[in-house]
Structure 1
Amino acid sequence: MGVPSAHGLPGTGEQHAAVEDQSIQQIIEDHRLRSAYLRELTRALSGHDGAWPTAPVPRVIVQFWDDPHSIPPDVSQCMRSWSALESQGFRREVYGDDSARAFIRSAHTPAHVAAFDACPHPAMRSDYFRLCYLAQRGGFYVDADDVYQGTDWMHLFRDSRLRVQALCYDTATDTMVDAHHAATTDEDPDTWIHYVNNNPIITPAHHPVIEAALEAGTRAVLSRGSGAIDIQSMTGPGNLTVALARYACEKQQQEQSVDVEILSTWDRVAVSRWPLSYRGDERNWRLWRQS
């Protein structure tokens, strides 16, 4: 499938701008166009070096568990694996519902606090809190079930670009496709959906993608009706993917570089551990029964 270009379209002046804006909106709203665009974006932004700002991303590892006083032992083991980086200048901050709410209250608006409180599942509050934290302070967010593999991580902090993980899901087999293979192979079935994860997120403070995802998530949570909650699209990877796609399109439209690296080999640094005790009950958002 061809991907609409964000620049170089026919027309001049206001007509040219209108066509470009329509192209961006088409990519954002059409899930197949957005998937194709994310595939090409991943190819373009995977490991690309250049003259990027070198101001350091804060060396803080941020994690979340709704009740940090009752973290399951197997999850705690995963979280503690990142303590290995403390000897290399990192500090680790673990937040729960109460401390996350206090941070949001101190750093953002009452609307953001209300949005956090309106997230009914711990996974959704985790999604929302990481955006609140990183938008304000920057740093390195990693999920509680990711296990550090002890490999080199220095390349992830070599400049101040936003870094997120590429994902690809095959709807035909209900399985994930290896991200590096999905980004580099010439094969691209219509059943593959390319997007980015909201774990890990490595970013300087106030990156436009994170701020846009935060505000979109806030609007989505506060304006939702009584229907089912789609965590992925409201506060999770879907929300971040849309924010990234819009930002990259606008940057390309302006013929500017996109200050993002999309990681297709994150599993060399960390892996999500399976199984874990909480995955078998409603603490796992995939098994959550909405009332």
Structure 2
Amino acid sequence: MDAYPQGFQENDTLRSAFIRELTLHIIERPNSLDIGNPQFAEEVPRTLIRFWHDQNDIPSDVSDCISSWDCLVDEGFEIRMFCDESAAAYLAERFSYRERRAFERCHHPAMRSDYLRMCVLLAEGGLYVDTDDVLIGDGWKELFGDGRLKLQPLCYDIKSAEMVPAAEIWRADLSTNERIFYVNNNPIAAPAGHPILRRALSRATDRLLGDELYPAIQSTTGPGNITAALAAHARELIVAGAPLDFEILRSWEEIAETRWHLSYRDDARNWRNVGRG
């Protein structure tokens, strides 16, 4: 770990390189996951968590995505849908002034969604999925077999300005040159109190309560935030020789798919449009 000193997770290049090495480490040493460890015996709760900022104005195409998950009720799931008002009420009941104030400073619905999912999963555990994801398979059952936190890997190819296909991320010959390796904050499956979520929430809260008026969504509350938390936590486990208490998912695309052609993506409700124009 000499190449990754404490605090390295805030360096974009080092963080990407570490995530790349982490995925290869998991491939080469699958037994290091130590699934039988009593630490992971508590399963992820069967609670499905979603967020849409305005409960009275959910686009019909988004509603179609949401309803694809309704079948999980028959599998014993509790399904919880949050909006701006119910999310603020949840934080008021469960969290301190710092978290409530940080949520208020989330300047876009995507940030509030990012922040809320960390809070609910940290407090209660469960599975968070975005409202533009459609359930397509029953592989979701594998997310609930143990108490590890589960995240989806991502890789962005800078030269082509495109995402690397999921299956390609695991290729051992894929270099870090002109690519950014990180993890998504959708989905997140976790037991309550997981240390990665605690670290991610603390980092996001500190940034939201800082001096920057409109902090970047991706790095403050989104994938960049949870990637930094994962990297710092994983380094600590590896240095200590402890088993990994998380899993990098290899087959999320067989469980759910993202619908990209949705009406809201063309307007300000899409965080990618923030600052354009």
How many angstroms does 1:77 deviate by?
0.6
Question: Is residue 246 of structure 1 aligned with residue 227 of structure 2?
Answer: no
Structure 1 runs of 4+ aligned residues shifted over 4 Å read 46-49
- Once residues 128 and 49 of structure 1 are traced to their aligned partners in structure 2, the CA distance between those partners, rounded to angstroms, is 30
* TM-score, with length taken from structure 1: 0.88
Q: Residue 256 of structure 2 aligns with which residue?
A: 270
How many angstroms does 1:290 deviate by?
7.9
Q: Residue 116 of structure 2 aligns with which residue?
A: 129
Q: Residue 31 of structure 1 aligns with which residue?
A: 12
- Once residues 183 and 172 of structure 2 are traced to their aligned partners in structure 1, the CA distance between those partners, rounded to angstroms, is 18
Q: Residue 13 of structure 1 aligns with which residue?
A: none
Counterpart residue identity of residue 11, structure 2? D
Stretches of structure 2 that go unaligned for 5 or more consecutive residues are none
- Once residues 51 and 211 of structure 2 are traced to their aligned partners in structure 1, the CA distance between those partners, rounded to angstroms, is 24
Over the aligned positions, Cα root-mean-square deviation in angstroms equals 1.8
How many pairs align? 271
* TM-score, with length taken from structure 2: 0.93
Question: Aligned with 1:66: secondary structure?
Answer: coil
How many angstroms does 1:111 deviate by?
1.2
Question: Aligned with 2:5: secondary structure?
Answer: helix
Stretches of structure 1 that go unaligned for 5 or more consecutive residues are 10-19
- Once residues 47 and 25 of structure 2 are traced to their aligned partners in structure 1, the CA distance between those partners, rounded to angstroms, is 28
**Contact 1:167–1:197 under 8 Å retained in 2:** yes
Question: Is residue 109 of structure 1 aligned with residue 96 of structure 2?
Answer: yes
Question: Aligned with 1:223: secondary structure?
Answer: coil
Question: Is residue 223 of structure 1 aligned with residue 210 of structure 2?
Answer: yes
1:86 to 48, 66, 73: 73
Call closer, same or farther: CA 1:139–1:245 in 2, change over 3 Å: same
Within-5 A mapping of 1:129-278: 129-226=116-213, 228-278=214-264
2:86 to 99, 108, 111: 99
Query: Over residues 64-94 of structure 1, what are the superposed CA-to-partner deviations in whole Å (9 max), with x where a residue is unaligned?
Result: 0001121000001101111111111112100
**Contact 1:45–1:260 under 8 Å retained in 2:** no
How many angstroms does 1:225 deviate by?
2.3
Counterpart residue identity of residue 278, structure 1? Y
**Contact 1:182–1:188 under 8 Å retained in 2:** no
- Once residues 115 and 75 of structure 1 are traced to their aligned partners in structure 2, the CA distance between those partners, rounded to angstroms, is 27
- Once residues 49 and 254 of structure 1 are traced to their aligned partners in structure 2, the CA distance between those partners, rounded to angstroms, is 15
- Once residues 43 and 54 of structure 1 are traced to their aligned partners in structure 2, the CA distance between those partners, rounded to angstroms, is 25
- Once residues 121 and 29 of structure 1 are traced to their aligned partners in structure 2, the CA distance between those partners, rounded to angstroms, is 23
Question: Is residue 40 of structure 1 aligned with residue 27 of structure 2?
Answer: no
- Once residues 159 and 45 of structure 1 are traced to their aligned partners in structure 2, the CA distance between those partners, rounded to angstroms, is 17
Which one has the largest radius of gyration? 1
2:36 to 33, 46, 51: 51
- Once residues 109 and 250 of structure 1 are traced to their aligned partners in structure 2, the CA distance between those partners, rounded to angstroms, is 27
Query: Over residues 77-116 of structure 1, what are the superposed CA-to-partner deviations in whole Å (9 max), with x where a residue is unaligned?
Result: 1011111111111121000000000001111001111110
- Once residues 219 and 24 of structure 1 are traced to their aligned partners in structure 2, the CA distance between those partners, rounded to angstroms, is 18
- Once residues 162 and 36 of structure 1 are traced to their aligned partners in structure 2, the CA distance between those partners, rounded to angstroms, is 21
- Once residues 113 and 152 of structure 2 are traced to their aligned partners in structure 1, the CA distance between those partners, rounded to angstroms, is 17
Query: Over residues 38-86 of structure 1, what are the superposed CA-to-partner deviations in whole Å (9 max), with x where a residue is unaligned?
Result: 0121233467563142212110000000011210000011011111111
